[in-house]
Amino acid sequence: MLHPKLIELEESFKPSILIQLFDPLLEQKQIELWIKRDDLIHPVISGNKWRKLKYILDHALSIKADTIVSMGGAYSNHLHALAYVGKQLDLQTVAYIRGERPKKFSSTLSDLERWGMKLRFVSRSDYRELRQYKNHDALPGIKADEYWLPEGGATQLALKGIAEIVSELDGNYDFLCVPCGTGTTMAGLINVCSDDCSVLGFSALKGGVFLADDIEPLLKNNKQNWSIQLDYHFGGFAKSSNELLLFIEHFFNQHGIELEQVYTGKMFYGLFDLIERDYFKKGQKIIAVHTGGLQGKLVK
């Protein structure tokens, strides 16, 4: 059973619904596109952020840790959720941020600081070194009451939370799609998804070929029913273009669903482009996971 503090917090969440999208292109290509609205479960710790943190926090609380130490970039959805939930649970939070301290904070960094997270800016080389520490007590110098959480929450406990997305889906579907930053969410989906379903990731980073190498160690079995689209990064992580921003605006006007340009906007742009180019077969059913992170809309 979850820690009582987490049970109380989760009681304030809304259910994640599944809705079908209707669009002239989908009708023309005879494709079903459904959206798993994980963005609606909570205004801040929504989508895969809560899914990944849920059982990690349960473990941290069970061993009486009072501080969570993690890492991420200046636009990290993971750190954004961690800082907020840490404040809600009376846990101290510390973050190693990639790069020099900016003169002007992104909206994400401003939120982290406002919610009490201690920010430690480190060089990119030092940041890369931090990636080697995977276990909660592996970080050199970690104290007994501190809990180390790798980049993006990439742990086996995170996969347990992600698996609940699939358990909430009924019926058959051909593709399950998700944006990728670290690949943790995608790995969690692959582990529990039927072999009859293909898991399709959309890299938010330029040069995301390394994601496959990061995903493989997280997989339970040697599954082959997954692939990553690498061509919809729009210049790199947290970068965008007028074309992408216009797509996001059009998508909202047509469907009333908000996207952001860091993750979900790129995935849906890629999905519609692939549908247009007949990547999918007529009659196939696609479920796309809306992973939230809408504070990314404020990225400049």
Residue of 157 and 107 predicted with greater confidence = 157
Residue 174's pLDDT is 98
| Burial call 35-68: b when 16+ CB within 10 Å, e when fewer | bbbbbbbbebbbbbbbbbbbbbbbebbeeebebb
Q: Give the pLDDT band of residue 298 (cuts 50, 70, 90).
A: low
Mean pLDDT estimate for the chain = 94
**Architecture of the 4-45+155-298 domain:** 3-Layer(aba) Sandwich (3.40)
| pLDDT mean over 11-17 | 93
| Choices 2.40.430.10, 3.90.79.10, 3.40.50.300, 3.40.50.1100: CATH for 47-153 | 3.40.50.1100
Residue 204's pLDDT is 93
Query: Hey, what are 168's tokens?
Result: 């909430």
CATH 3.40.50.1100 residue window(s) in the chain:
4-45+155-298, 47-153
Residue 300's pLDDT is 46
CA-to-CA distance for 209 and 201, rounded, in angstroms?
11
pLDDT tens digits for range 134-173? 999 999 999 999 999 999 888 999 999 999 999 999 889 9
CA-to-CA distance for 93 and 89, rounded, in angstroms?
11
Q: Give the pLDDT band of residue 193 (cuts 50, 70, 90).
A: very high
DSSP 206: T
**Cβ–Cβ under 8 Å, residues 90 and 65:** no
Residue 75's contacts (CB-CB under 8 Å, 6 or more residues apart) are: 106, 108, 237, 238, 262, 296, 299
Q: Evaluate if residue 12 carries a pLDDT over 60.
A: yes
pTM listed for this prediction: 0.92
- Side chain identity, residue 14: K
Residue 88's pLDDT is 96
| pLDDT mean over 239-254 | 96
Residue 190's pLDDT is 96
Percent of the chain with pLDDT over 70: 99
CA-to-CA distance for 116 and 108, rounded, in angstroms?
13
Where are any strands of DSSP class E within the chain? 17-21, 32-37, 67-72, 92-98, 118-122, 146-148, 175-180, 198-203, 226-229, 285-289
